[in-house]
Every structure is written in structure tokens, then in C-alpha cells.
Chain A
């Protein structure tokens, strides 16, 4: 029962480097999300995809791009990493929309930008 799978789990980047966080879900969910968690800030929505073929900005989209590759996969790209993007990133999915009790999270990706 994989659920939501994120890769990589840990990554250290130098300022200015680029990288892509991969996310895949096997629950046939329509909606997918990327959150970041910072100390004292809770989880903040970066981007979401309500359905295959659509993406929308969340609360903190600057410095990120996303791609909904197909129904299963939703990737998050940092084009030019900055120290402010040091965070824990969570991918999530849900059957439809933001109905909270159906949102399932991945285990997280720890990203450090030096």
C-alpha cells in the first residue's frame, strides 16, 4: 500500500542549482498538492492540481514550478534554489478538491539549500 510516494527523501543543493521533486500516488486521486513545512509556520500550500491537466498557485508559489505529468504524477521544480527554500516538502493527494478528510500526505522530502 504505497499511497503517496515522494523522491528524493533528502537533498542538499547549492544556491542557484535546480532540482525536481517527484511525487506519485496510486490511489487514483484527481487532486494533488505540494506543501512546505517550516518551523513555526505550519504547512503552506505551494501549488495544487485539481485535476489532470490543471495547476494553480497556492499560498507560496514564488520560486517554484509544477507539472502534472499524468493523473498519478505531480512534480515540483526549483529552477534556481535559494536558502529560503530550505524546508520539508510534502506532496499530497485527494479524491477531489480540498475535502480535508480525504487528503493523504507523502512522507516528506528534506531539502537544504546552502
Chain B
């Protein structure tokens, strides 16, 4: 049973435009959400997180939105740059990150020049 789902395996966006990556979860006990970025032949690196007490968190070009009632989060990248081409994983945890992280399947983002 996939508790965290990223339904889009891939996404292609024009450079300079907005990239929107989506993630859905089923476990209502999740209260801490993260996005990781992964380049080929490298390990995932932390990008941005959000706690369930917030509905938005911003860090430079990256913004994560959380809709608790819909059990949905999204990552917005504005403007998209070629270096943003990577696989993005969303992850969720309970008790403010103290429980095990559950990862989604990943979305491969390609930014076209």
C-alpha cells in the first residue's frame, strides 16, 4: 500500500516557466513533509520541508504548499532553471519527523532550454 504517491513519473517544463510537482498521501497521521532532489549517480539531498501547522513554506525559488484536507502537497519552482533537472521525491513522516520517512516514487523533472 503506497502511503505517499507521486502520480507523475515525469514532467517537462520550459526554462523560466513554473514547475509544479505533486504528491498525495493517505496516512492522516503524517504531519511533516519533505522534498528531496536527486541527480543521477548521487544520493538524494534535502530541498525543503513543511510542517502540518503551516500551509506554505518558501525558500528562494522553491515553495511547498500543503493542503491537509485533500492530503496533497505540491512543490513549485519559479523560475525553472536547467540545473533543476533531476528526480524529485516527496517524503512524509509522523510526530514532526520523529517517525520513519515514507517516500513517494519520484518525479523526473526535465527543464528544456
Interface residues of A (CB under 8 A from B): 4, 40-45, 48, 58-59, 90, 92, 97-108
A45 touches B101 (CB 8 A): yes
**In the complex, what residues of A have CB within 8 A of residue B9's CB?**
40
Instruction: Determine the chain A residues whose CB is within 8 A of the CB of B42 once the complex forms.
Output: 107-108
Cβ of A40: which chain B residues have Cβ within 8 Å of it? 9, 105
Chain B, interface SS category = loop
In the bound complex, residues from chain A placing their C-beta under 8 Å from that of B104 are 42
CB of B25 closer than 8 Å to a CB of A: no
In the complex with contacts A42-B104, A100-B32, A92-B97 CB distance below 8 A? no
By the criterion CB–CB under 8 Å, are A101 and B103 in contact?
no
Q: Is the CB of A92 within 8 A of B43?
A: yes
What count of chain B residues pass the 8 Å CB interface test?
24
Given A40-B105, A100-B49, are A105 and B32 also a contact pair (CB < 8 Å)? no
Q: A42-B89, A100-B91 are in contact. Are A107 and B100 (CB under 8 A)?
A: no
A98 / chain B contacts, CB cutoff of 8 Å: 93, 97-101
Given B32, B93, B106, which contacts A42 in the complex, CB threshold below 8 Å? Answer: B106
Binding site for A on B (CB under 8 A): 4, 6, 9, 32, 34, 41-46, 49, 89, 91, 93, 97-101, 103-106
Among A40, A41, A59, A103, the most chain B Cβ lie within 10 Å of the Cβ of A103
Are B91 and A44 touching (Cβ within 8 A)? Answer: no
The CA-CA distance from A41 to B104 in the complex, in Å, is: 7
> Contacts A90-B44, A97-B98, A100-B32; is A43 near B89 (CB within 8 Å)?
yes
A111 to chain B: closest CB distance in Å? 15
Query: In chain B, what residue has the closest Cβ to A45?
Result: B100
User: Given A45-B100, A100-B93, A101-B49, A107 and B106 touching (CB < 8 A)?
Assistant: no
- Considering the complex, give the chain A residue whose CB is closest to the CB of B32: A100
Are the CB atoms of B45 and A107 closer together than 8 Å?
A: no
